[in-house]
Chains A and B, each alone.
Chain A
Amino acid sequence: MTGMQPDAALAAMRDRQRAARQARRVVVTRGALAAAAVVGFVLWANFGSGRPVFSPHGTPETGWDAFRETYGVDTFGRDGYFVRAIQNGYNLVHHTHKYAWRFTRKGALDHPNACIDCHSAEALAYAFAASDRFDARLGRRVSFEEHVMRCYATHLDGFVPTTYDPAVRDIRIFARMVAHHLQLGEGALERTP
């Protein structure tokens, strides 16, 4: 023990305690701020941002409500995963340049720039029902998904998504839903359900 006075030792101890409290406060405050930032971001993303990427709901494009009504989409529920995929499929088919911009070089001013410019919803459903057949031009069996992928690369002058991508999957689900509405069976020929 050095020759420190008791008052000085007490003051040093209090300084140390103060420093420890301050350090603890800093740690807690930083943690709380980080947590608040995460919570704030989540709340903003879900409720304030309005960005479709953060929303569990599809963006209602023009014509969606009428389509939903006409094709009886609500048979599958009003807000289920399947219905949201159909809605995304609807958006992809009608506004391809906007919703699949990664896979098309077409812009808003180009024409054609969306699936619907070449294929009607019914045509997609019939194509889906008769897919997975031998394609004489390609010399092999081609699935509906591969046809969609080829459309992106050729007619839309873009790039090929993977078969799992929602840009492919939701078009298949859209076609499946229209096929259900038309009560098509496997291999249905146009105008013969």
Chain B
Amino acid sequence: MKRLLPGWKKAVRLALVVSVLFGLYALTLARHDERARIREQPVTLTPGCADKLARYGLEAGPRYISPYVLARTEQANTRQGYSDEDVRAIQRGCNIIDDLQGQLAADPARERWNATRFVRGTHSSCDHCHQGIGDKQTAAGVPQTGSLSLAASWVMADMYDQFTGILLPYELRQMQCYINSSNGYKPNVADDLIRDVTAYSRFLAAALDLRFGNRYAEQGIDEVTASQTAKRGDDYVRGAALFKERCARCHGPQGLGTVVDGKVLFPAVAGPNAFNLQSRNNFSFVSTILPGFICRNMPPGEEGTLSNQDCRDIGFYVSNLPRPAGDKQGPLAALWQQLMMRVMPPLIHTVETWQRPGEPAGSGT
């Protein structure tokens, strides 16, 4: 076989490099076009979103008048309307909040912008913390105090955040949720995943007639501090007992959540599917947020039945269950937490089975 000349070799090598680069470029264009096509497609709403968006009268048009505000104030509050593209973005945003990992979607990857890329576990959904699809309301139809309202959070975005030490834009705050509360990775600031959630949050702010820069009671969590309890201390053992009594029936005896037929009925509060050690949810990181959340929202249907002390004790216990390390804690902490997450559940299961052979021991899920 005749050998190629050195010049030909270089040319072949160059052609290979150029074709790889063109291939990557073509792939990028194809992905870009696919995203554009998805944006054009009608959105299949989750049942919760269909109900909420219908109640708030979302439809395309030059002007938007919130039926919610109209019913409460008897005044038509005319706002800038939404185009079809805006409506679809809002609908997708609502779906993302309600069902981040696409368990209710026919095609989860396309309908949720491949959100699972940014979440390590299989349980997390925004709605687990931002209940009521980011807009939890009382029976009287008013936003619930300290319910992590997305709308109230949007109108107060850009303020100084003591945890990060920066003026935190709404988009960056969402990224933190992916990193810590979902124990995953941050999407790009311009990713549709972020932009659609922002569009939905902004629509909620319009529907509820919230004003920029105002602090609303439904923003954040109404935190439960140690000074709000008689004991002014947190009791791990009492927390463990309360967890078994009040929480384990849904979240599992070891807090690993309940999954039936591949659908998450109750999310994990410990283990690899839970929020990580640096989530603001985690008691050992911020000791007032998780108790506040528990007191407001748990157990479902029996809200308000736990005292401040109960909530703090449960929060203290839950935060000491094994969970992933935070993103800034380094490889050793991550390794240790991985070890704990793998060793502790079977160990506890074995010990409990051995101690109480008659009782059904919790395997965790």
Contact = CB atoms under 8 A, between A and B. Distances in A.
Nearest to B36: A140
Contacts of B213: 75-76, 176-177, 179-180
Interface in A143-173: 143, 163-164, 169, 172-173
Contact-residue size bin, chain B (C-beta under 8 Å from the other chain): 35 or more
Interface of B is mostly: mixed
Interface of A is mostly: mixed
A137 to B, nearest CB: 13
B212 interface: yes
Contact-residue size bin, chain A (C-beta under 8 Å from the other chain): 20 to 34
A188 B210 CA distance: 11
A187 B115 CA distance: 28
Contact of B212 (A129, A143, A163): A129
B78 interface: yes
Interface stretch (A43-51, A77-85, A93-101, A110-118): A77-85
A64 interface: no
Contacts, number: 93
A183 B89 contact: no
Interface in B175-211: 189-190, 195, 198-199, 202-203, 205-206, 209-211
Contacts of B199: 132, 141
Given A163-B189, A173-B158, A173-B167, A180 B211 contact: yes
A162 to B, nearest CB: 9
Contacts of B166: 81
A188 B211 CA distance: 10
A176 B212 contact: yes
Given A81-B167, A82-B167, A173-B167, A188 B80 contact: yes
Interface of B: 64, 77-86, 89, 154-155, 157-160, 166-167, 169, 189-190, 195, 198-199, 202-203, 205-206, 209-214
Interface of A: 75-76, 80-82, 85, 128-130, 132-134, 136, 140-141, 143, 163-164, 169, 172-173, 176-177, 179-180, 183-189, 192
Given A136-B83, A176-B212, A188-B80, 4 more contacts: A132-B198, A176-B213, A185-B209, A186-B210
